[in-house]
Amino acid sequence: MSGRHVHGGPECVALFAKLSEYLDGELDPAACAGVDGHMADCERCREFLESLRRAVTHVASMEAPELPENFKRDILSAYVRAKGSS
């Protein structure tokens, strides 16, 4: 941190609202450069962004189990029953 910037001011709060778009590469170049510049000067925001990035990566890497065969059979049976009663 350069010492010129004190974390928690309006600049940090305004940046806080843009962090997902920044991570997703959805900010226009000028806004993106603004975030980059702020990050270079504000260690707390940098740490915050890193924690958000890690959280998003953990979520994205979660796996779901495969569909159990017996569930599939139950659903096919439910379809046959529903069709028979209609």
Q: How far is the CB of 4 from other proteins (least distance, A)?
A: 18
Dig out the tokens for 45 from the structure. 């925001």
Contact by Cβ (8 Å): 7, 42: yes
Q: How far is the CB of 33 from other proteins (least distance, A)?
A: 20
Q: Report the alpha-carbon angle 26-29-30, nearest 5.
A: 120
User: What one-character DSSP code corresponds to residue 86?
Assistant: -
Dig out the tokens for 22 from the structure. 């920044």
The nearer residue to other proteins, 1 or 33, going by C-beta atoms, is: 1
The nearer residue to other proteins, 36 or 72, going by C-beta atoms, is: 72
- Binding footprint of other proteins on the chain (CB under 8 A): 13, 16-17, 19-21, 26, 43-44, 47-48, 50-52, 54-62, 64-68, 71-72, 74-76, 78-79, 82
